[in-house]
Structure 1
Amino acid sequence: MKYLFILVSLLIGTVSFAQTDQEKAQANNPLAKITAFNLQQYYAPNLTGNDEATSSTYWLRYAKPTGRVLWRASLPFSTYSNPETGISSSGLGDFDLFAAYLAVSKPTLSFGIGPSVSAPTATHSTLGTGKWTLGAAAVAFASVSPQFQTGGLVIWRTDVGGDMNREEVNILAFQPFAFWQVGNGVYFRSAPTWNFNLEKGTYNVPLGVGLGKVIKIKKTVCNFFIEPQYSVLHYGDNQPLFQLYSALNMQF
C-alpha cells in the first residue's frame, strides 16, 4: 500500500483533475452520505514484548447510506509473526459492522451514533477474539473551514457470546482526527487510533502526522494518504511502537 501511494503521488503530481473545495473537504468525512470503498493498511515493524515481532493488517471497508443510516462494514486480513515464540499466522480477522444514524447531516457538521457489532470470523486464534461482540459507536465531523476539518470516532464493545474458552472482551477505541488542506488537493493529516483493553488493562496511544492527496477521476473521488504513527503511551505486549498507516479511499 505504501508503495502504491508513492507511485500514484508521483504520477498525479503532473496531472490536473477538476475538483471542488467541498469534495476535497468531504473526502475525509467518515459520515459523508456517499457510497465509499476503502483499502487501508497498518504495518507495525516493532511490537512491545518482542522487538522482532511484526504485524500487518489490511482493512477492506465499504460504506453505504440508506436514508439517514450509514452502514459501514469492515473486514481485516492480518499477518502476525513472532520469531521468539515461533508463532506466525495470516488470514482473516473478525468482521466488523457499524450502523450510524445521522442525527446531524450538514455540509459543515455531521454526527452519527448507533450500534457496533463484530463476528468471530478470524481464521486463526491470534487474529481475532473468538467472540461475538456488541456495543455502540459515535462519530462527529466538523468542517471548520475549507482549509481545516476535525472530529473524532469512539467505539465501545463487549462480548455477548462465542468461544467460552477465549478471554472476555471489553474494549474502547478513540480516534481523533484533523485535516489541513494546503492546496491542489494536498493536505496534512493526523488520525491515530487510541486502543484500550478494559478487560486486561492494556492500552496503546499513538500520535502521527501524515500527508494525503485528493483527486477526482471522472465521478470517483480518490483519497491517497500515508501517516507514520508513534506510540507515546503503551502498556502490555504486542502493542505497536511504530506503525505506518496508509490507504486508498474512494467515494463514488
Structure 2
Amino acid sequence: MTKSVLTYLILILCGNIFVISAQSDADALAKQLQNPVASLISVPFQGNLDFGIGPADGTRFTLNIQPVVPMSISEDWNLIGRVILPFVSQTDVFGNSGNQTGLGDAVISAFFSPKEPTSGGLIWGVGPVLLAPTATDDLLGTEKFGIGPTGVVLKQVGQYTIGALANHIWSVAGADDRADVNVTFIQPFIARNFSGGYALSFNTELSQNWDFDATSGTFNIVGSKVITLGSQLAQVFVGPRIPYGNGNAAGWGVRGGLTLLFPK
C-alpha cells in the first residue's frame, strides 16, 4: 500500500514538473516572438482580410509568408534574414477593376544585430531592405526594384515588449511606365505576455508614399498562444485590423494565422 502511494506521488510530481517545464518553454517562446531580431527560426503565415476598399467597396485577402532565419556571423553579432512574400486575392480594389490573384512584390530585409542587449537593455538591428518585383499581375505589384535602409529597436522589461521597426525603399530600376517607389514604413509595437504562452500585442503599420502624399495603415490588436501540433511547436494568432489614412484604406479587416517555430 505504501509503495503504491509513493509511486502515485512520484507520478504526480513528474507530471507537474513536465507541465511547469512545458509552460516555461511556451512563455519563453512567446517572449522571443515579440522580438523581430530574436535568435529563433520561425515561419509565420499571416492572413489579412480587408473589406470596403476604395470607391467600389473592394475586398482583399493577403497571405504573407514571412520566414525569419537568424545566423551567427561572429562571437558578438547575428545576421537575421527576413522575407515577406505576399499571396494576394483581391476584387475591385482599384475601382471596378475585377479580380486579381497571385503573388505580390517580395520585401527582403537583413538585420545586423548584437547578440547581447546594450547596458540599458536595448535590443537593436540595422541593415538593408530590398524590394523585388515578384508580382504576377500588374495590379499586385510595382514592377520596380527597390532598396533602402531598415532598422528595429526594442526593450523587454518583465512581461512587456515595446519597440518599433522601420524602413524606407526607393526604386532604382524597373518598368519606365510605372510610378517610382518612395515609401516609408513604420511599425511601432507593444506587447504583454501572459503565463501559458499567451500574449496580447498592439501595433500600427503605417506606409507613407511621399511622391503621392498618400498615407495608409492599420491598427492591429492581436491575441496569440504558443501551441504544439503533434511534435511541431507553433503559435496561433487572431485579431481585428482598423484601417486609417487616405491611401486607398479599407473600411475594416481581420488578421489571423499560424507561425511555425524551430527553436535551437
Q: TM-score, normalised by structure 2?
A: 0.81
Aligned length: 233
Counterpart among 99, 102, 124 of residue 91 in structure 1: 102
- State the partner residue of 2:191: 179
SS at structure 2 position matched to 1:123: coil
Q: Say if 2:36 is the partner of 1:26.
A: no
CA RMSD of aligned residues (A): 2.2
Structure with greater helix percent: 2
Deviations 1:147-170 (A, max 9, x none): 211211101101000000001110
Deviations 1:178-217 (A, max 9, x none): 1112322222111231111111111124223231112356
Q: Say if 2:239 is the partner of 1:227.
A: yes
Question: In structure 2, what is the Cα distance between the partners aligned to 1:86 and 1:25?
Answer: 42
CA apart distance, 1:47: 1.1
Distance 1:97 1:133, change over 3 A: same
Counterpart among 218, 225, 228 of residue 206 in structure 1: 218
Distance 1:49 1:186, change over 3 A: same
- State the partner residue of 1:115: 128
Deviations 1:67-122 (A, max 9, x none): 22111122111111118514210001112210100046439542110000011111
Deviations 1:2-58 (A, max 9, x none): xxxxxxxxxxxxxx681323322112221111221111111101213332x011111
- State the partner residue of 1:39: 45
Which amino acid is the alignment partner of residue 56 of structure 1? F
Which amino acid is the alignment partner of residue 87 of structure 1? G
Question: In structure 2, what is the Cα distance between the partners aligned to 1:224 and 1:175?
Answer: 21
Q: Which has the higher contact order (CA 8 A, sep 6+)?
A: 1
- State the partner residue of 1:59: 64
- State the partner residue of 2:141: 128
Distance 1:187 1:65, change over 3 A: closer
Aligned-residue sequence identity (percent) comes to 25
Q: Say if 2:107 is the partner of 1:102.
A: no
Structure 2, unpaired ranges of 5+ = 1-18, 73-77
SS at structure 1 position matched to 2:204: coil
Q: TM-score, normalised by structure 1?
A: 0.85
- State the partner residue of 2:164: 152
- State the partner residue of 1:80: 90
Question: In structure 2, what is the Cα distance between the partners aligned to 1:168 and 1:81?
Answer: 24
Structure 1, unpaired ranges of 5+ = 1-15
Question: In structure 2, what is the Cα distance between the partners aligned to 1:117 and 1:58?
Answer: 19
Q: Say if 2:206 is the partner of 1:194.
A: yes
Which amino acid is the alignment partner of residue 18 of structure 1? A
